[in-house]
């Protein structure tokens, strides 16, 4: 049996002799490369935390001691060491989640895969246990990228005031999130990496004073003076220690003995301790180390020998946005790009290369991104803030009170809108249109194909009196969908009426246009007179759509947003306000958290397929 095959849980791991930990780490890396290359997933982050995760489970007693992984995409090693070594269906329906999952194991605490939350979770758990009289350790593992999020610093501010809580905060510093971490914090951590240890200098000071003719209380006063002087000059960890946090590090995150020793010191301290650990993303896998973009942060199915994908998916929605941004950037110097630590995933990499003085990466700080963009709009620019749709949730207040209230000409571009699939509940972009629908003055466009992305972006950056939002899904774009004709801002994309009055009007939103066209074809084959319209700018509801719906007996809305507060509900409200008595059906995402599966499987599960919708409308 291999060492890994003998690990059924943390107790087995603790029994492994120290001199065999290196062999176990190598077995885990081999396992990860072979398994994740077959399923896709977050390979690079997990290769970087092998020794760290082993050390955590050897020093602490999970699940009695809670171990919380910020973001959670680096929890694969944790899963392996807690009895979950069947990765054959990772991120697939019925298989392991790509993030911690309470349904899988009592060792998993926080499922939310949004960054910068672990310190608040850890503080809450530790505080709650203390109030209940339970003395247990709580450990949070947060990356240097996630530490750029404002919520992490709100937590640090409060943790520092609870000096007796047994909290261990592990900063997993690999100088990256998706791409290299930037900003003042990144520069500070870089200084810590390259500065000789404060405690080494303090030991030198103690040794020097002991040899000097200093007696009595003078020794203590002199030592304090040496300590303060050294701290001010050579101890950049003062940023954390001045907050009241004990600092240990930096520690080589691939030295198992050093890691265990540091974590045991932290465990014994009795109060909040920050352990600064240096790791390498993609450690031990040469294709990841050679990738300068994101070091295999997330991969699809790849050849494990080369790291290359087996299939090229073709152009994506993100590619269409990327090209449009570069073209518009050449025409308008007032257009700038803003990203929240996701330059490459959201398609701003080419814009950054072409116009390096007009790209701003704010770190994992969506709230700051939107408010800063509002300030840039006031200064005469037109910022384009590109984030994943699921992360817009974090900047709702800023979009409402800073952008919309101040009528700021800011464009928000939402990648991965709708059902995304394998990453599960927290990554579906299914709330954005409901969020945006309550914001006065906001306009939202849902492109139906690649050409529509470029058209929407050009129209959006021309808007200077309020925020605009563009949202599109994950994956490859299909062939362009040409309009049959236009009615003002509306595109008629299918017309089976033969010039007569329509029996049914289908309002199709964004990526669901293709589905709606197929539905209309099925209904037309049964003799119904059906028209499909793409409103393009779906929030607010266009007056032309209200006019078009007059006299139509039945109306259906198809969208990939949660039904509550979505486009469908807004269309229904607009029709009722117009006195339209038409029967209206809304096909949307139910108000529930949807587990990981392929996009097609999830759409089938919730009834957003052509067959299911056509069957419902044919009744």
* Tally of CB atoms within 10 A around 443: 20
Phi and psi for 291 in degrees, rounded to 5?
-80, 110
163 as an active site residue: the answer is no
Listed in sequence order, the residues at least 6 apart from 484 whose beta carbon sits closer than 8 Å to its beta carbon are 492, 493, 494, 495
The residues that bridge with 143 in the sheet, in sequence order, are 172
496 is in an annotated binding site: no
508 is in an annotated binding site: no
Sheet holding 273-278, edge to edge: 66-69, 138-143, 167-173, 273-278, 246-252
Which residue among 58, 79, 267, 281 is the active-site one? 281
146 is in an annotated binding site: yes
Sign of CA dihedral 240, 246, 249, 254: negative
Q: Which of 176, 180, 147 is nearest to 274 (CA)?
A: 147
Q: Say which DSSP state 197 is in.
A: P
103 is in an annotated binding site: no
Strand pairing report for 504-508 and 490-495 = unpaired
394 as an active site residue: the answer is yes
99 is in an annotated binding site: no
Q: Tell me if residue 475 falls in helix, strand or coil.
A: coil
174 is in an annotated binding site: yes
Contact 169/56 with Cβ under 8 angstroms?
Answer: no
Report how far residue 97's alpha carbon sits from residue 519's, in angstroms, rounded to the nearest whole number: 33
136 as an active site residue: the answer is no
Contact 146/174 with Cβ under 8 angstroms?
Answer: no
Q: How far apart are the first and last CA of the chain?
A: 60
Which residue among 320, 366, 559, 569 is the active-site one? 366
Which residue among 176, 283, 394, 471 is the active-site one? 394
76 is in an annotated binding site: no
212 is in an annotated binding site: no
303 is in an annotated binding site: no
574 is in an annotated binding site: no
Q: Tell me if residue 589 falls in helix, strand or coil.
A: strand
H or E segment and range at residue 530 = strand 530-534
Which residues are identified as catalytic? 281, 366, 394
Binding residues for thiamine diphosphate: 73, 113-115, 145-146, 174, 285, 366
Binding residues for Mg(2+): 144, 174
Binding residues: 73, 113-115, 144-146, 174, 285, 366
């Amino acid at each position: 049996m291999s060492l890994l095959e003998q690990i059924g849980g943390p107790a087995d791991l603790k029994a492994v002799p120290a001199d065999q930990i290196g062999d176990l780490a190598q077995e885990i890396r081999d396992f990860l490369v072979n398994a994740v290359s077959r399923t896709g997933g977050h390979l690079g982050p997990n290769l970087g935390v092998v020794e760290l995760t082993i050390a955590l489970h050897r020093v602490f007693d999970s699940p009695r001691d809670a171990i919380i992984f910020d973001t959670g995409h680096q929890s694969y090693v944790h899963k392996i060491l807690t009895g979950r070594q069947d990765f054959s269906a990772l991120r697939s329906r019925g298989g392991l989640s790509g993030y911690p999952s309470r349904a899988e194991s009592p060792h998993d605490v926080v499922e939310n895969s949004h960054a910068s939350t672990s310190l608040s979770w850890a503080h809450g758990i530790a505080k709650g246990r203390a109030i209940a009289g339970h003395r247990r350790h709580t450990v949070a593992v947060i990356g240097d990228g996630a530490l750029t999020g404002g919520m992490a610093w709100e937590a640090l501010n409060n943790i520092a005031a609870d000096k007796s809580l047994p909290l261990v905060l592990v900063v997993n510093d690999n100088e990256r999130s998706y791409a290299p971490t930037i900003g003042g914090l990144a520069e500070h951590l870089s200084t810590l990496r390259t500065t000789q240890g404060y405690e080494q200098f303090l030991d030198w000071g103690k040794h020097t004073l002991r040899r000097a003719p200093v007696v009595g209380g003078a020794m203590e006063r002199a030592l304090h003076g040496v300590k303060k002087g050294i701290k001010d000059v050579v101890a950049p960890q003062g940023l954390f220690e001045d907050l009241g946090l004990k600092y240990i590090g930096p520690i080589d995150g691939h030295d198992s003995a050093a890691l265990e020793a540091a974590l045991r010191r932290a465990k014994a301290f009795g109060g909040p301790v920050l352990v600064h650990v240096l790791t390498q993303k993609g450690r031990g896998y040469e294709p990841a180390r050679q990738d300068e973009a994101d070091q295999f942060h997330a991969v699809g199915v790849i050849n494990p020998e080369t790291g290359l994908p087996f299939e090229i998916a073709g152009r994506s929605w993100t590619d269409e946005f990327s090209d449009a941004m570069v073209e518009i950037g050449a025409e308008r110097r007032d257009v700038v790009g803003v990203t929240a630590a996701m330059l490459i995933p959201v398609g701003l990499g080419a814009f950054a290369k072409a116009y390096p003085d007009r790209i701003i990466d704010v770190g994992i700080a969506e709230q700051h991104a939107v408010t800063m963009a509002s300030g840039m709009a006031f200064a005469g620019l037109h910022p384009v803030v590109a984030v994943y749709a699921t992360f817009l949730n974090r900047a709702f207040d800023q979009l409402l009170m800073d952008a919309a209230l101040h009528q700021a000409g800011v464009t928000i571009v939402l990648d991965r809108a709708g059902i995304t699939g394998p990453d599960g509940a927290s990554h579906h972009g299914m709330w954005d249109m409901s969020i945006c629908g309550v914001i006065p003055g906001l306009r939202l466009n849902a492109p139906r194909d690649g050409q529509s992305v470029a058209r929407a972006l050009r129209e959006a950056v021309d808007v200077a009196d309020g925020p605009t939002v563009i949202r599109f899904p994950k994956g490859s774009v299909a062939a362009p969908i040409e309009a049959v004709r236009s009615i003002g801002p509306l595109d008629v994309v299918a017309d089976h009426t033969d010039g007569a009055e329509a029996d049914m009007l289908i309002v199709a939103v964004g990526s669901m246009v293709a589905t709606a066209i197929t539905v209309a074809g099925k209904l037309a084959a049964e003799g119904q007179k059906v028209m499909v319209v793409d409103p393009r700018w779906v929030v607010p509801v266009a007056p032309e759509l209200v006019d078009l719906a007059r006299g139509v007996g039945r109306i259906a809305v198809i969208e990939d947003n949660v039904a509550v507060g979505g486009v469908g509900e807004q269309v229904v409200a607009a029709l009722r306000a117009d006195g339209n008595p038409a029967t209206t059906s809304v096909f949307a995402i139910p108000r529930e958290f949807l587990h990981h599966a392929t996009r097609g499987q999830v759409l089938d599960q919730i009834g957003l397929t052509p067959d299911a919708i056509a069957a419902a409308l044919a009744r």
